[in-house]
Amino acid sequence: MSVDQFRTTEMQQLQSQLKVLHSELPTCPTLRDIDGVKDQMEQLYTMTPSDYLNRAVCRVNPSQGKGHVVAMVGLPGSGKSTKQGECTALGYTEYDDIGKNWDQLHQVRAEASSGTNIVMSDIMLTQEAEKLKTQERLGPKLPVNYVHFENNPKQCERNARFRKQTNGAERNLDWEIHLINQLSANYRPPANALPVFVAPTADNESTT
């Protein structure tokens, strides 16, 4: 599928979803979802081929005989949750920070085997050993499609500081920075890894 074909198909799906969301107004969660869909529409025309290939993995494939499992992989503060939102907007069931309870992988396997599309994330998936364990828990018949973020600890730390400043009074910044540095040392993302999200520049500069 070419970039133009992907954009056309994706835009049709987003327009259909937007129509459904408008019919559910005026609930606040729906308003937030509408903004998310509109953002995705704008992004369709600024994506590089690498971006669209990574994003395409989140698209529901009706021809699949079982659920599609996508895993977001990156350091703390890389943008996993934002990217994960693109999948949930397309109907995926979300398992965020699945490493806090690996037993949930049994539930992921059951839901995916019944046809549910799943998106999950965890910082520990930056380590190859944890990826292998994840696949072992899910079984060989349920492959995981990984969407990687680049290994950019400097920007991730800036993002962590920004997140702490703006909406994370309870977040342990020192621990997050420790994890960023520790996990970065052995993280080897592929060449087509997504760029790390960049928090607003002015706020980043004021927190470094």
The percent of residues above 70 in pLDDT, for the chain, comes to: 71
Does pLDDT of 99 surpass 70? yes
pLDDT band at 56 (very low <50, low <70, confident <90, very high): low
| pLDDT for 204 | 42
Nearest Cα to 159, choosing from 118, 205, 127, 122? 205
Least confident of 40-54, 132-146, 187-201: 40-54
22-37 pLDDT, tens digit per residue, is 776 666 556 656 666 6
Arithmetic mean of pLDDT, 64-93: 82
Nearest Cα to 157, choosing from 199, 117, 125? 199
pLDDT band at 65 (very low <50, low <70, confident <90, very high): very low
Regarding predicted confidence, which is higher, 88 or 50? 88
pLDDT band at 8 (very low <50, low <70, confident <90, very high): confident
- Residue 182 phi/psi, 5-degree rounding, is -70, -50
As beta bridge partners, residue 120 has 71, 95
pLDDT band at 51 (very low <50, low <70, confident <90, very high): low
The bridge status of strand 93-95 relative to strand 144-148 is unpaired
Confirm or reject CATH 1.10.10.10 for domain 65-208, answering yes or no. no
Residue 116 burial class via C-beta count within 10 angstroms: exposed 0-12, middle 13-18, buried 19 and up: middle
User: Which tokens is 154 given?
Assistant: 């400097």
> Is the pTM higher than 0.75?
no
The length of the chain, given as a count of residues = 208
Nearest Cα to 194, choosing from 143, 147, 154? 147
The percent of residues above 90 in pLDDT, for the chain, comes to: 24
Q: What is the mean pLDDT of the chain?
A: 78
Arithmetic mean of pLDDT, 85-108: 83
pLDDT band at 175 (very low <50, low <70, confident <90, very high): very high
Arithmetic mean of pLDDT, 152-175: 86
